[in-house]
Amino acid sequence: MTAAAEFVEVSQKFGDFTAVDAIDLSIPQGKLTTLLGPSGCGKTTSLRMLAGYSAPTAGRILIDGVDSTKLPPEKRGLGMVFQSYALFPHMTVADNVGYGLKLRGITGPARRARITESLEMVGLAHLAASRPRKLSGGQQQRVALARAIAIRPKLLLLDEPLSNLDARLRVQMRSEIRRIQSETGLTVVLVTHDQDEALEMSDEMVLMRAGKIMQQGAPSNVFGSPTNRFVAEFLGYENFITMTDGSLHTVRPEHLEVAPAGRPVIDGGLSLPGTVTDVAYRGVDVLVTVQSTDPSGLNVTLVSDLRADTAPPVTVGDRVTVSAHQTRLVPIAA
């Protein structure tokens, strides 16, 4: 697997604040990579450094194997879609899409053909003559995408591209972006704080915190085997249990069974006694919170996410046994 772009010990400091802390990162060719993390984790700063809008204070950035650390954005040949879309208000949709083409010496019929092709890819060829402000948010987003892909970029960079759209449109645009990625074969880097978006869209997922990469890999690997507590918590693991040997394990709420006295518990796995402190009915499922003591003797709050139709009838104050299969226990670094 060749790298379309590479970060070599890249840091970015703003005064005393370290936004990105000596990260090494490899963006695989022809894949969709997401940079995921809470705000302030350095994901957007990393994307801006890759695009050339902000120079790293240390380290090197390679694009197609060429050291591009000092290249200005206009020499990098990357396509960027901004969170605000940044469509030129004084130009028509077609001129927005054609802006980068003119600068590449593509004019006349060739330019028009490429504009139409790019707009067709996002399904907006009929709006070529409109002004951006006449378009809906979703349409503006598509124009921004068309403008970025029209220049046949080495990489397509997307900065929180879906965060300004309503929920329904957001889900629709996820598959739209995936479709464009597979049709064009482009290498895509997408920044997001939404783990669902990252899990659904990525080939490769990079989880960041406080300027450092916490874990990188295919979504199913990262989701199934988080290596540290931060990643686990970020991806919705809520139960952290310390074993007698001091090792830390985590379990997803949906893998934790709750059984009142006399009901069967899962054999050969984790099994802890406890008291129900909260029951929250949520329609499809029900969340049961149990106060318990883990094998190492620490008090822990465990959360179990049960299917509402098969959940045992428990109420606050009930003595219960909480259990999970051995295979559901994920060992993590503290």
C-alpha distance from residue 242 to each of 166, 251, 318, 331 (Å):
41, 11, 24, 10
Q: Give the residue, chosen from 74, 245, 267, 309, that forms a contact with other proteins under the rule CB under 8 A.
A: 74
Q: Give the residue, chosen from 1, 90, 108, 315, that forms a contact with other proteins under the rule CB under 8 A.
A: 90
**Residue 100 engages other proteins in binding (rule: CB under 8 A):** yes
**Residue 103 engages other proteins in binding (rule: CB under 8 A):** yes
CA angle 218, 5, 160 (to 5 degrees): 65
Burial of 187 (0-12, 13-18, 19+ CB in 10 A): buried
Residue 89 or 268: the one with the smaller Cβ distance to other proteins is 89
Q: Which of 260, 256, 233 is nearest to 325 (CA)?
A: 256
**Residue 13 engages other proteins in binding (rule: CB under 8 A):** no
- Cα separation, 67 vs 157, in Å, equals 18
Q: Give the residue, chosen from 25, 78, 270, 306, that forms a contact with other proteins under the rule CB under 8 A.
A: 78
Residue 75 or 307: the one with the smaller Cβ distance to other proteins is 75
Q: Which of 135, 187, 140 is nearest to 162 (CA)?
A: 140
Residue 164 or 221: the one with the smaller Cβ distance to other proteins is 164
Residue 75 or 263: the one with the smaller Cβ distance to other proteins is 75
CA atoms within 13 A on the CB side of 177: 35
Can you read off the two tokens belonging to residue 269?
A: 């796995």
Interface characters, 192-231, with other proteins (x: CB under 8 A): ----------------------------------------
Q: Which of 244, 210, 205 is nearest to 225 (CA)?
A: 205
Pick the stretch among 98-106, 202-210, 232-240, 276-284 that binds other proteins (CB under 8 A). 98-106
* Cα 203 from chain centroid (whole Å): 11
Can you read off the two tokens belonging to residue 265?
A: 């518990």
Q: Give the residue, chosen from 43, 114, 147, 174, that forms a contact with other proteins under the rule CB under 8 A.
A: 147
Pick the stretch among 18-26, 71-79, 235-243, 297-305 that binds other proteins (CB under 8 A). 71-79
Interface characters, 106-135, with other proteins (x: CB under 8 A): ---------------------------x--
Q: How far is the CB of 205 from other proteins (least distance, A)?
A: 24
**Residue 43 engages other proteins in binding (rule: CB under 8 A):** no
- Cα separation, 139 vs 229, in Å, equals 39
**What residues between 148 and 167 interact with other proteins by CB under 8 A?**
151
CA angle 133, 85, 192 (to 5 degrees): 145
Q: Interface with other proteins by CB under 8 A: which residues?
A: 51-53, 72-74, 76-80, 82-84, 86-90, 99-100, 103-104, 133, 147, 151
